[in-house]
Amino acid sequence: MSERRNIENLHLSEQGANLISEREGCILTAYLDSRGTLTIGIGHTSAAGPPKVAQGMTITQNKAMQIFRDDNARFRHQCLPLVRSPLHQHEFDALASFVFNLGATQFRGSTALKRLNQGDYAGCAEAMLFWNKPPEVMSRRRGEHDQFLNLQHVARA
């Protein structure tokens, strides 16, 4: 296995992007997610940044992919000052999925980040599982947990 690298030197891999896309799904018409948040494309919400999601909004597949790329770039940029421990690519990809779903604000105060920055990689993966609401998110969390630990790379476990 390659050495861990600083987050500045890592970008979401194609496999990581595919897993996030599979975890989120792609819906081209605005809908309310399980928490009642307007969502479109590959898990995009207004909280992630532009474009603002509006009731009845529709987008194309190409637009959904562009928004997804922009969202991932924003999340990476937001995480740069937070993550101080080096990561393997699979750890970065799992963390990207976790933060994509949680949001950088929630991640900033998370036990997962605290443990990661203490060099406790197993503890970080375990703490990802603490984010267990709504209950239907748990298969995703197990997938991110397993991906972080390099046990398996599946969308949901």
- Domain spans, the chain: 7-148
Q: Count Cα neighbours of 86 within 13 Å in the Cβ-side half-sphere.
A: 7
Q: Catalytic site residues?
A: 24, 33
Burial level of 145, CB count in 10 A (0-12/13-18/19+)? buried
Quick one: pLDDT at residue 95? Answer: 96
pLDDT in tens, 43-70: 999 999 999 999 999 999 999 999 999 9
Q: At residue 1, does pLDDT exceed 80?
A: no
How many CB atoms within 10 Å of residue 112? Answer: 26
Q: At residue 85, does pLDDT exceed 90?
A: yes
Percent pLDDT > 90 in the chain is 86
Q: At residue 35, does pLDDT exceed 90?
A: no
First to last CA, the chain: 23
- Residue 156 makes CB contacts below 8 A (sequence gap 6+) with 23, 139, 140, 142, 143
Q: Looking at the whole model, is its pTM more than 0.85?
A: yes
Quick one: pLDDT at residue 60? Answer: 98
User: CATH number of 7-148: 1.10.530.40, 2.40.110.10, 1.10.760.10, 3.40.47.10?
Assistant: 1.10.530.40
Quick one: pLDDT at residue 153? Answer: 86
